[in-house]
Amino acid sequence: MEKLLDAVGKLCPIPLEEAKIEIETINSGDLLRIDFDCPEATENLPRWAAESGHEVTNFDTISEGVWTVSIKKK
């Protein structure tokens, strides 16, 4: 299963804080996809995922200044 968190238009640290909440609502092995446009989150979302033991399965640019990251819950 994949759950989408649309954090486009939200300033940091909101995307990270919302991701921490949303990851708790999905099952182990499921994906949380986060769409965002906060440049700081390009570093802090993957770092948080790694530090928490989750796996970043995709990190891509959607359009100029907008990214998506998929995190597989441990």
Q: How far apart are CA 60 and CA 65, in angstroms?
A: 11
Closest C-alpha among 21, 23, 11 to residue 71? 23
Q: Which residues are catalytic?
A: 12
Angle at 23 between CA 45 and CA 1, to 5 degrees: 110
